Structure 1
Amino acid sequence: MSGAAGKYAKTFVMGLQNALEYRANFALSLLSSIFPIVVQVFLWLAVFQSAARPSVFGYTRGELIAYSILAALFGKLAAAGFEHEIAGDIKDGRLSKFVVQPIHYFLFRLCSFLGEKSIHYLVIAVLTAGVVFALRSDIQPEPMRILVCLTALILSVAINFLIFFSLSMTAFWIQEVWGIYLAFSLLANIAGGGLFPLDMFSDSVRAVLNLLPFKYIVYFPAQLLLGKVPSGDMLASVSVQLLWILVLTLVSMLLWRTGLRKYESVGG
């Protein structure tokens, strides 16, 4: 293994070790996701009972329950969480060691992120498989859809990572970013379909959301399993995900270089 590859492989392993050390935190965060799911399930049950209709916004009761569970799992799968660490590195001057050493900060964060999330991915994959099997009457677990969904989930993790890496660059200009990160996370969750399907928004709101990358993080993968995405549109939507990854990579690199000049100008 080359020296450069070895450095990033070591970073991945360190992230994995960190995840194993704090596995109780992940278990608790996963358990904390159960409460919102239960609330949503009872909400949809109440809606269908009062509406006395077979479907709401084009979804049956079973489909909305399945969507709520899948959205929670997919949201947990793509979650970032490193933005506060980056802000701390910039604010406290720890970024300086990455500037002078032969290691790229973006790749360091990416490998660390994947290492920390690797165990989480396995757990969520098992839980998702269980949900698909248990709710197979409301989900379309066709082999092709499952394959495209897996691809879409991998790309959704990349999209979310790039979004939050770019957001983290605000720490170069703003010292106290906690409120910004919290507000952005809440809005991104709603815009990505983390709370309810985007079909429930008005046409004008959906037109705006369709121009943003957030729908490809939770909403699109969940729609794939629910059979809401026509077979002919699946690969086209995956292509849009790839396009967003390219755009967000360019944006993140531009913000990094611009912020780094700012960081150096104040002495880091």
Structure 2
Amino acid sequence: MFKKYLRILKIEFTRVREYFLNFIGQVVYLPVQFLLVYFLWKYIYSSNTVVAGYSFYEMISYYYILMILQSAIMPVGVTTYEEWNHINKGDLNMYLSRPISYPIYMFFTKIGYFIWNILFGLILIFIIIFILASKIEMNLTLSNVLLFCVSTVISFIIMFNLFFLVGTLTFWVENVLTLRDNLWNIIKIFSGQIFPIAMFPQVIRRFCSILPFQYIYYIPIAIFQGKLLEKSLLYNFIGQIVWALLLTLINICIWKNGIKNYASQGG
């Protein structure tokens, strides 16, 4: 059953040259972003040695890893536009006439780009860690690295589900692109993309803990940096898996209802 989707993934892998060039194109901007972050936090840490449990170099490494993750995960946001376009233009009929599942097809076309980018990104992460090894106080272990890799895959699944879910609303909503933009803003605030969630007041941290967004960036980075104790690590890792499964089930249900609505309207 999945051989056809694996073929799709294989085709995506053959585009490694294109992915690498796209990734390098994004990485070109990293030094500029990194310098802005560096000098901002350098100023903040001029009167503090630790902020929200992060030393200066831990904070800098947090944002460096975040930038790499963003370059790998953020492109999945195009899923909403592609789905909206396929439904509105009637191109969805072409996919429905094939012996494939459209959601699974979309997933495999996106995960190929993610896998290559995260592999390239890990190389860059280890390079900077090697350069700053004497200054970064990081509890880096093989288990943390492996869990980080698994966690980033799950974060990709969460991100894909969120944007595919918004795209599926096209069956009922004329323009979902505004909803997509609002989702981007919510993710920025509650995923640790602007500040590590540890910096938020306790009431907001608790609010974040019941939402899926912290599992996109903050938790994978915390795992890599060794910021989570064994009990907390297990709790958050399970929470991430639960959200990935829950969003997948919600997507399946809404997609099935959407397809019925699409068919009844002669789509």
Q: Is the TM value for this pair above 0.5?
A: yes
State, as a whole percentage, how many aligned pairs show the same letter. 25
**1:146: how far off?**
1.9
Which residue identity is paired with 2:60? I
**1:254: how far off?**
1.2
List per-residue Cα deviations over 1:210-229 (Å, max 9, x = no partner): 10111111101111232221
List per-residue Cα deviations over 1:25-62 (Å, max 9, x = no partner): 3332332344333222111011112xx12112222111
Alignment of 1:93-242 (within 5 A): 93-136=90-133, 137-242=136-241
1:58 to 53, 58, 68: 53
Q: Which moved more, 1:32-41 or 1:226-235?
A: 32-41
Which residue identity is paired with 1:113? K
Partner Cα separation in structure 2 for residue 234 and residue 166 of structure 1? 28
Contact 2:50-2:56 at 8 Å conserved across structures: yes
Partner Cα separation in structure 2 for residue 85 and residue 131 of structure 1? 35
- Which residue in the other structure is 2:6 paired with? 9
List per-residue Cα deviations over 1:132-189 (Å, max 9, x = no partner): 3334332221222222222212221222122222122122222333332223113212
- Which residue in the other structure is 2:80 paired with? 83
Contact 1:132-1:141 at 8 Å conserved across structures: no
Partner Cα separation in structure 1 for residue 114 and residue 218 of structure 2? 21
Partner Cα separation in structure 2 for residue 58 and residue 262 of structure 1? 51
Contact 1:66-1:139 at 8 Å conserved across structures: no
Which residue identity is paired with 1:131? I
Total equivalences in the alignment: 263
TM-score (norm 2): 0.90
Which residue identity is paired with 1:225? F
TM-score (norm 1): 0.89
List per-residue Cα deviations over 1:209-268 (Å, max 9, x = no partner): 110111111101111232221123222321111111211111111111121122223222
Poorly superposed stretches of 4+, deviation over 6 Å: none
Contact 1:75-1:217 at 8 Å conserved across structures: no
- Which residue in the other structure is 2:68 paired with? 73
Contact 2:68-2:118 at 8 Å conserved across structures: no
Q: Which moved more, 1:89-98 or 1:128-137?
A: 128-137
Over 3 Å counting, the alpha-carbon distance change for 1:178 and 1:29 in structure 2 is: farther
**1:88: how far off?**
0.9
Which residue identity is paired with 1:127? L
Other structure's SS at 1:141 match:
coil
Q: Which moved more, 1:136-145 or 1:106-115?
A: 136-145
Over 3 Å counting, the alpha-carbon distance change for 1:234 and 1:22 in structure 2 is: closer
Partner Cα separation in structure 1 for residue 43 and residue 190 of structure 2? 24
Give ranges in structure 1 of 5+ residues lacking alignment: none
Contact 2:152-2:220 at 8 Å conserved across structures: yes
Partner Cα separation in structure 1 for residue 239 and residue 254 of structure 2? 22
Over 3 Å counting, the alpha-carbon distance change for 1:87 and 1:123 in structure 2 is: same
Q: Which moved more, 1:36-45 or 1:76-85?
A: 76-85
